[in-house]
């Protein structure tokens, strides 16, 4: 199975700039005028330009608001050096949302992109979380 990541953004050019600078992704191609395909991670990331205030569903009342918001699904970026990654995402325009948390031999810090979308930076000591907190 292949997983694609789609991120709604209000303005495509500034979103491309942020994700390229923050995560060293490459713009692979533009699809129409409102979708950017970014590569360089384990999954392809699509930035979808969606107007602020536009409906996000025909079956649920509500509209997109590009302020900080909570969603049960977010993207985790696994990094080799969390300190360097923190510097990079902040200089690209991310906002820090939490202090560093140590859990099962990992370090995690939460952020939001300039459009309110949450993401985490995670550094593992091994390949993934350990079986027990050591």
Q: pLDDT for 22-68, tens place per residue? A: 999 999 999 999 999 999 999 999 999 998 888 878 888 888 888 88
The superfamily (CATH) of domain 4-124 is 2,3-Dihydroxybiphenyl 1,2-Dioxygenase, domain 1 (3.10.180.10)
Exposure on the CB side of residue 91, measured as CA atoms within 13 A: 10
- For the stretch 75-134, pLDDT in tens is 999 999 999 999 999 999 999 999 999 999 999 999 999 999 999 999 999 889 998 655
Q: What's the full length of the chain, in residues?
A: 134
């Amino acid at each position: 199975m292949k997983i694609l990541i789609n991120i709604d953004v209000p303005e495509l050019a500034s979103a491309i700039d942020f994700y390229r600078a923050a995560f060293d992704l490459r713009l692979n191609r533009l699809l129409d005028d409102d979708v950017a395909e970014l590569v360089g991670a384990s999954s392809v990331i699509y930035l979808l330009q969606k107007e602020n205030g536009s409906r996000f569903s025909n079956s649920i009342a509500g509209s997109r608001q590009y302020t900080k918001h909570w969603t049960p699904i977010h993207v985790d970026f696994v990094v080799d050096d969390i300190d360097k990654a923190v510097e990079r995402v902040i200089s690209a325009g991310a906002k820090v949302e939490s202090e560093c948390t140590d859990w099962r031999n990992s370090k995690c810090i939460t952020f939001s992109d300039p459009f309110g979308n949450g993401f985490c930076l995670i550094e593992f000591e091994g390949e993934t979380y350990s079986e027990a907190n050591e």
